[in-house]
Amino acid sequence: VSNNNTTTILEAAKYIPAAPILLPEGPWEQIPGGVTAAKGFKAAGMYGGLRAKGEKPDLALVTCDVDAVAAGVFTLNVVAAAPVLYCRNVLDISKTARAVLVNAGQANAATGDLGYQDVIECASAVAKLLQLRPEEVLIESTGVIGQRIKKDALLKSLPSLIKLLSSTTEGADAAAVAITTTDLVCKSVAVETEVGGTKIRVGGMAKGSGMIHPNMA
Amino acid sequence: TMLGVVTTDALVTSDVWRKMVKTAVNRSFNQITVDGDSSTNDTVIALASGISGSTAISSLDSFEATQLQACLDAVMQGLAKSIAWDGEGATCLIEVSVTGANNEADAAKVARSVAASSLVKAAVYGRDPNWGRIACGAGYAGVPFSQNELRIALGDILLMDGGQPLPFDRNAASDYLKGAGETHGTVEIHISIGNGQGRGQAWGCDLSYDYVKINAEYTT
């Protein structure tokens, strides 16, 4: 990771503190790293000009070096946002994925056909830059409901975002900050355990502070 | 809105992974609540690279699947609790544990009903050990149980047993709530609704004036 990228990644993680993670007891050990702790994953987060105010990072990307077995669980709200409809359709036809692009700022919900078109364009742009098929790219959005995403700003940021991809903890932390909206802390955790005598890692990041009563399936 | 991205390097087949993820979400993200609003965007994406070289998991019944499920549950619960902990305007995390139900799903339903109650959330913010509101939240969960078997404790302070309210040290109970609020800690509500084996948890936060202020300003 070149020097200025490191600076950018480190900047991203300084915006908000990390949440205390209350892990249940079990045969696992908490390790640093979030989504990049498991082998094969990279992440990045940067400010792409999507947020209404401030320059907190608002664009995150998580990639896998190989075809990752993919699962998705989505809101049962019948007014489902465009990225939810898109991901459900993609995971209906594909068992694997290679990347997840997440934007904050606009939720791209209640945005009709134009909002769905925006998702397709963003997924295709990421796929092209990563030399993947569009259906290998999944999309998550969060932010103000009813507004389409600031697509031009997002598309313009993608080359820099991809350059920032890193398998380090800093990459995971930057991504965890970039997906936040009204959160006061960023949420990221990773654990290491043994499965069948082999060490494996499970990591993750999440966001959420308001409009929280998940009912997903 | 809540969003999640979970990654692992375990080797697991697609259909097993999808079932595992759904189970873990039901034990974590689907058990949190801040304001009762189910978002248009709630999503969890979970990716398994398989690069660890672990034993391939192709059946939910295998020991390896049990190990991976437990670890996946833990990671998702850790993230889900941090969302409830960070609920808008929250001063503390509320953890509701229910035992004695007929099954896990019933226990989870009662737990989330109590955690989602605005009156329970406001009582916690007012540092009021209001056992009646907790009992009420359990009662309208849609899970049948005999109220004579209802037992409620706040931390280790027993408020109700056998459906009967008990004399308890109100100041100590209120101080327990105050202490959690001052440290952004966790208020534990323990509820038993019978003698069944079903147990479940839900997480929420207290309801403060700031929740209204934040959402009155976060406009379209």
pLDDT single digits (tens) A128-144: 999 999 999 999 999 99
pLDDT, residue A152, reads 97
pLDDT at B220 over 80: no
Beta strands in chain B (DSSP E): 3-8, 43-48, 93-100, 151-154, 157-161, 164-165, 186-192, 196-205
A82-95: pLDDT as tens digits: 999 999 999 999 99
Going by pLDDT thresholds of 50, 70 and 90, the confidence category of residue A6 is very low
Do B32 and B44 meet the contact criterion of CB atoms below 8 Å apart?
A: no
Higher-scoring residue by pLDDT: A3, A13: A13
Q: B49, A23: Cβ pair inside 8 Å?
A: no
Higher-scoring residue by pLDDT: A9, B103: B103
B152-210: pLDDT as tens digits: 999 999 999 999 999 999 999 999 999 999 999 999 999 999 999 999 999 999 999 99
Going by pLDDT thresholds of 50, 70 and 90, the confidence category of residue A101 is very high
Q: How far apart are the CA of A42 and the nearest CA of chain B, in angstroms?
A: 10
pLDDT, residue A54, reads 86
Q: B30, A215: Cβ pair inside 8 Å?
A: yes
pLDDT, residue A53, reads 85
Among B86, B88, B184, the residue to mutate for chain A (most A Cβ within 10 A): B86
Structure tokens at A207: 């966001």
pLDDT at A7 over 70: no
B120-155: pLDDT as tens digits: 999 999 999 999 999 999 999 999 999 999 999 999
- When CB atoms are compared, the residue of A70, A187, A199 closest to B79 is A187
Within 8 A of B88 by CB-CB distance, chain A residues are 182, 209-210
Mark which residues 24-43 of B lie under 8 Å from A by CB.
Answer: 25, 29-30, 32-43
Q: How far apart are the CA of A168 and the nearest CA of chain B, in angstroms?
A: 14
pLDDT, residue A10, reads 55
Non-local CB neighbours of A92 within 8 Å, separated by 6+ positions = none
Do B15 and A201 meet the contact criterion of CB atoms below 8 Å apart?
A: no
Residues of B classed as catalytic: 1
Structure tokens at A165: 């991809």
Going by pLDDT thresholds of 50, 70 and 90, the confidence category of residue B215 is confident
pLDDT, residue B83, reads 98
Among A31, A61, A69, the residue to mutate for chain B (most B Cβ within 10 A): A69
- Compute the residue count for chain A: 217
Distance CA A24, CA B132 (A): 29
- When CB atoms are compared, the residue of B49, B52, B76 closest to A204 is B76
- DSSP SS3 for A102: strand
CA-based nearest residue in chain B for residue A31: B75
Going by pLDDT thresholds of 50, 70 and 90, the confidence category of residue B86 is very high
Q: A213, B73: Cβ pair inside 8 Å?
A: no
pLDDT at A2 over 90: no
Q: How far apart are the CA of B79 and the nearest CA of chain A, in angstroms?
A: 6
Non-local CB neighbours of A139 within 8 Å, separated by 6+ positions = A83, A86, A87, A100, A101, A102, A103, A119, A122, A123
pLDDT at A168 over 50: yes
